[in-house]
Chains A and B, each alone.
Chain A
């Protein structure tokens, strides 16, 4: 299982770009890197997923270096509503029933 390590918390201000890094030194060949966002009293929801290089969607970008031992979630121009906990999940999403375990997550606080 690929163990993940993230900063416990981060602070930012509205309008800034936020980068959250996740370390996963023992990532396996078939593993994908997926980021989830969780608001209080809600289940996590999918943000973005990648295997290598860079992926971008309407809400975030994901940067993955060639060795894949880390990844960086980038949130452009954050707003107060981006205050949440962000989880990095590393696992084989291509086969059914894999043991998908989460790390502790990063608590992002966006200030006015």
Chain B
């Protein structure tokens, strides 16, 4: 099992550009999450999804959109990137039966 897979691993954008971060899990988990982590800081929740077709805002949703088109995949979109969005983005999934979060390896995003 691959677990939680994120692509790309690294990305550099110019201010105003758009891009989509991809996340897929192969553990048949219902819930998925997007976090951002600024240098030397903790994780902040951007958006989360309880199941296919449902999404909810987290602590810091402004400037982001998400899509949960199926059970496996949960994408994060930056419509107009800003330098303040420079961060490492982590996707995670969990299932009530597991009781714990499984994280991907992260996407390091720099916005110039």
Using CB atoms and an 8 Å cutoff, list the residues of chain A in contact with chain B. Answer: 32, 34, 36, 41-46, 49, 87, 89, 93-105
Contact = CB atoms under 8 A, between A and B. Distances in A.
Contacts of B102: 46
Given A99-B48, A99-B58, A101-B58, A94 B30 contact: no
A104 B54 contact: no
A94 B43 contact: no
A65 to B, nearest CB: 21
Contacts, number: 72
Given A43-B90, A100-B101, A105 B48 contact: no
A8 to B, nearest CB: 10
Nearest to A85: B42
B105 interface: yes
Interface in B32-59: 33, 35, 41-45, 48-51, 54, 56, 58-59
CB-CB nearest 5 A-B residue pairs: A97-B50, A43-B103, A93-B99, A104-B42, A46-B100
Nearest to A42: B105
Given A41-B106, A44-B103, A96-B30, A102 B96 contact: no
B28 to A, nearest CB: 12
Contact of A43 (B42, B54, B94, B106): B106
